[in-house]
Amino acid sequence: MTEVYNFNPGPSPIPAPVLKKAKEEMFNYENSGMAVMEMSHRSPLYEKIHYQAINQLKELLSVPDDYEVLFLQGGASLQFAMVALNFLPENKEAAYVLTGSWSEKAAKEAQTLGNVTTLATSESNQFKHIPEVDLSKVTEKTAYIHLTSNNTIYGTQWSSFPKEPAVPVIIDMSSDILSRSIPWNDVDMIYAGAQKNAGMSGVTIVIMKKSLLESANDKLPPSLSYKQHASKDSLYNTPPTAAIYITSLVTDWIKGLGGVEEMQRLAKQKADLIYSVIDGSSGFYTGHAEPEARSKMNITFKLTNENLEKEFLTQAKNTGFIGLNGHRSVGGCRVSTYNAVPLNHVEKLKSFMETFMKKNA
């Protein structure tokens, strides 16, 4: 097998020790004679995994007691709709901060269900920065503020969130959950597909304040109702048991390494390696994001012309670097350095970028 260095934007690497453990446990989980995905979701053995995953997320993210952790399906994309279904009544409007394609998609889905306003946007600057949010624009008509903490496609990231907002703040953290601490005083709900930093696709992590949950629309079909899922501890219907199992192993792995603080430190260390090549390249590589908005998860850049970029991506692929193409909507290159991407893979990519530059500058 050839060694690959996986920089996919998601699904993306799962920590090697997690894959190893899952392999070892595949045919006989804790002497049950079964794989986790063969067990009843009502069995004590599965329930242990389920609650362990919930409790470890609470511990790692310092989730206060007045917040609920849910495991839902339908990806982060279903949350775009569920947020509005549950929290956007007819007489109110939801305020979206637009920082790229995913926040635009979130706003578009909400628009099909109610009134949506743009609280701030960086569109006119090709989403290169995180816009200032003017909280005085929030009125008694505002149901909630929605933002995307890390913009997977453009490679920007909020370094801090609006302080003391008068209305609930709901954050899509699909591409930076578990890589940073969350200031719960100013955050009412977060959601994230697990497939970047928290495991495999199939489960969406939702964490919300109980008082927000209580305010949710209770006239929804039960399968779309946060209240329904919360009242059954996310066991209303069959949950994605295998994905939740992998999340429980990923949270074990993060705990073993020192928790989210250590993930945060490593994320900066890894991102700095690539940004340092970009900054030291005298324009051979040009970063997309403005320096103060740079993401520590997705590093986006271009080369001086498209032919050179193609050559870079081809040579990178032939050397084993996977997933470096920018999103099809923006082109260029993107290095995704999620929690499970080993530091030495990023170091190898840094050398590759430097060598390619020396040969082609």
- Please check whether residue 328 is in contact with residue 319, taking contact to mean a CB–CB distance below 8 angstroms: no
139 annotated as belonging to a binding site for a ligand: no
Q: At 85, list the tokens.
A: 């279904």
Residue among 56 and 175 whose Cβ is closer to ligand PMP: 175
Phi, psi of 173 (to 5 degrees): -110, 35
Strands (E), the chain: 5-6, 67-72, 93-98, 115-121, 142-148, 150-151, 156-157, 169-172, 189-193, 204-209, 285-287, 298-303, 321-322, 333-336
Residue 10 makes contact with ligand PMP by CB under 6 A: yes
Q: What are phi and psi of 118, to 5 degrees?
A: -95, 115
Amino acid identity of 232?
A: K
- Whether residue 132 contacts residue 106, with contact meaning beta carbons closer than 8 Å, is answered with no
Q: Which is nearer to ligand PMP, 19 or 78 (CB)?
A: 78
73 touching ligand PMP, by CB under 6 A: no
Return the residue nearest ligand PMP (CB atom): 75
Q: Return the structure tokens found at 358.
A: 């020396």
194 is in an annotated binding site: no
- Site map (CB under 6 A) of ligand PMP, residues 307-336, x = contact: ------------------------------
For position 152 contacting ligand PMP by CB under 6 A, the verdict is: yes
Of the candidates 128, 158, 196, 209, the residue annotated as catalytic is: 196
Token readout for 190 is: 């977060």
Does the active-site annotation cover 196?
yes
Question: Applying CB under 6 A, does 193 fall inside the site for ligand PMP?
Answer: yes
- Report if residue 75 touches ligand PMP, rule: CB under 6 A: yes
Catalytic residue among 128, 158, 172, 176: 172
In this chain, which stretch among 21-29, 43-51, 52-60, 71-79 interacts with ligand PMP, using CB under 6 A? 71-79
Tell me the C-alpha distance between 36 and 55, whole Å. Answer: 19
User: Residue 103 and residue 109: Cα distance in Å, rounded?
Assistant: 10
| Nearest residue (CB) to ligand PMP, 56 versus 150 | 150
What is the amino acid identity at position 350? K
Residues catalogued as catalytic: 102, 172, 196
Interface ranges with ligand PMP (CB under 6 A): 10, 75-77, 102, 148, 152, 172, 174-175, 193
Q: Which residues are annotated as a binding site for pyridoxal 5'-phosphate?
A: 76-77, 102, 152, 172, 195, 237-238
